Amino acid sequence: MPDQGFEIDEDGEIRIEPTEEDWKTLREVSDSIPKAAYLVILVEFCERFTYYDPAELPGAMGKGQQTATALTTFFQFWCYVTPIIGAVIADQYWGKYKTILIFACIYFVGLIVLTLTSIPSAIASGATFPGFIVAIIIIGLGTGGIKANVSPLVAEQYKNTKPFVKTIKPKLSSKFAADEGDLPVHNSVANKGDVRVIVTPQATYQKLFNMFYWGINCGSLAAVVTVILEKNFGFWPAYLLPTLVFIPGILIVFAGKKLYVRNPPRGSIFLEVFKVIRLSFKYGLEGCKPSVLQKEHPEVAKNATWDDVFIDELRRTFRACVVFCWYPIYWLCYSQMTNNMVSMTATMQTGDVPNDIMQNINPLTLVIVIPIMDKFFYPGLRRLGIHFGPMARITCGFFFAAIAMGYAAGIQAYIYSQGPYYEYPTGNGKNDVSAGLIVPAYIFIAISEIFASITGLEYAYRKAPEKMKSLVMAVFLFMNCFGSILGFTLVSVAVDPKLLWMYAGISIAMGICAPLFYFCHGKNDKSDIAEDAIGRSRHTEVVDEYEAEAKPAF
């Protein structure tokens, strides 16, 4: 057996590197999650508690449903543009922690404006509408600074970057029990029956982002409470509650300063990025390396302010961003849940339940299913030796989104087949169809998020260079804007009786994209295995070798 390398971590624990034989015979498990990461997740819970759709208020402002829809669309678009601003500031000037803290304060100012302009006297004086516009602009800016940086900050709390072998005492429970529940023992004192496993960063980041998304959706369930408050007590209590909940979020960020792993900003890199991109059209990306320029174009090399490693990192960034280009159609599917499907339930029999509460089935499903996936499904696949890589997971997410839209099309057809209003229920009344029939569509969308949205966050972090973590995350979030643009193009068919064909068309488009996506990017899962197996210290060498075989566009 070849000698195994080892290293001693900062806690004095010996970590043994897995051999090639270990990778073939041992299963992968995730490491324990640092406590500081849970603090950041708690901050995100408080932020999500306040982030519900504040634009659907035609009754309070007296501007009508069309204005409310326009404001909703603008708010969603603005919230996914501003992360670019937050990412640039964090990566270049302030760092993630300071950026989150300052933008959280900006967010809080917007919440105060929103609350004060929703009180009865403000509504009576006509201050609500202009105050509302100002509030959503401020809140959207605050959201951008937080959204682009909070998930990378969560991931940065886990500092181990190399896989290592661990010996655990197996549980007596099901063979598919959670990896993290096993008891670790030192390899030198392993007893008969103890199991050796490989703790990998990939499995750990997967678990970490699952927990992060779980926190997001726990906060999203606040919409149930705020809708009830608005219905029974008015708008200002519905806004006051999230404003008060956000205060602990800011305090947690501030109080946990000494606990967080806080990587400093990397300095100005965007000027270099633009220069490299410009030169790449002439020399190719590989030709922009200073080592190559020095030989072939010395007059250009003397002005280069970057190194060869920067070019390799930029290539990795491009690879990640190419994957994200498939997401707009997915976000188009997702957005139906908060607009057209809400309108659909308004044409169905809901009893005493407000139709806009139905969309909370989605976060409720996620809160229930994410722990099951994390504790049983993913560990079970790893125990069976099945590598369910990021590209495969994203493909599954796309398929589930297509299924959700196909199911919605079937329900819409059924609504049109029932009286008393048949194909024209909108604006007339409710057809004799139970709203419970639409529940599976929300469940399918939730499952698609687990595979596509969570994995997208994980992939954006893991593939982004150290200098560009927030920026790559912002690019991933920015794809939601293009989903909104696609939604705008479908406004003309988002009316009865064309809704059936709209859902069907979206389902077909997503169903076609899913296999095409895997055909184009499925090979990336192989490089992920190589990355974990060989370690980050040799990752650049592996990626370059793999890309040479795959002949990528860049």
Predicted TM-score (pTM) of the model is: 0.81
Mean pLDDT, residues 84-103: 88
Percentage of the chain modeled with pLDDT above 70? 83
**Virtual CA dihedral for 39, 40, 41, 44, nearest 10 degrees?**
130
For 325-532, give the CATH class: mainly alpha
CA–CA distance, 294 with 278 (Å, rounded to integer): 18
The domain limits of the chain are 1-24+165-199, 31-163+202-262, 270-306, 325-532
CA–CA distance, 235 with 539 (Å, rounded to integer): 53
CA–CA distance, 242 with 290 (Å, rounded to integer): 52
DSSP character at residue 349: B
Least confident window among 67-71, 246-250, 403-407: 67-71
Grade residue 103 by pLDDT with cuts at 50, 70 and 90: very high
Query: Does residue 189 contact residue 171 with C-beta atoms inside 8 Å?
Result: no
Among 339, 326, 345, 342, CA closest to 491: 339
Q: Do domains 31-163+202-262 and 325-532 have the same CATH topology?
A: yes
Report H helices in 63-200: 64-89, 96-116, 120-125, 128-156
Question: Average pLDDT of the chain?
Answer: 81
What's the topology of domain 31-163+202-262?
A: Growth Hormone; Chain: A; (1.20.1250)
Grade residue 552 by pLDDT with cuts at 50, 70 and 90: very low
Give the tens place of pLDDT for each residue, 124-163.
Answer: 787 878 888 898 899 989 988 888 888 888 888 888 878 8
3-state secondary structure of 533: helix
Specify the pLDDT at position 537: 43
**Virtual CA dihedral for 50, 55, 58, 61, nearest 10 degrees?**
80
CA–CA distance, 295 with 300 (Å, rounded to integer): 10
Query: Does residue 362 contact residue 446 with C-beta atoms inside 8 Å?
Result: yes
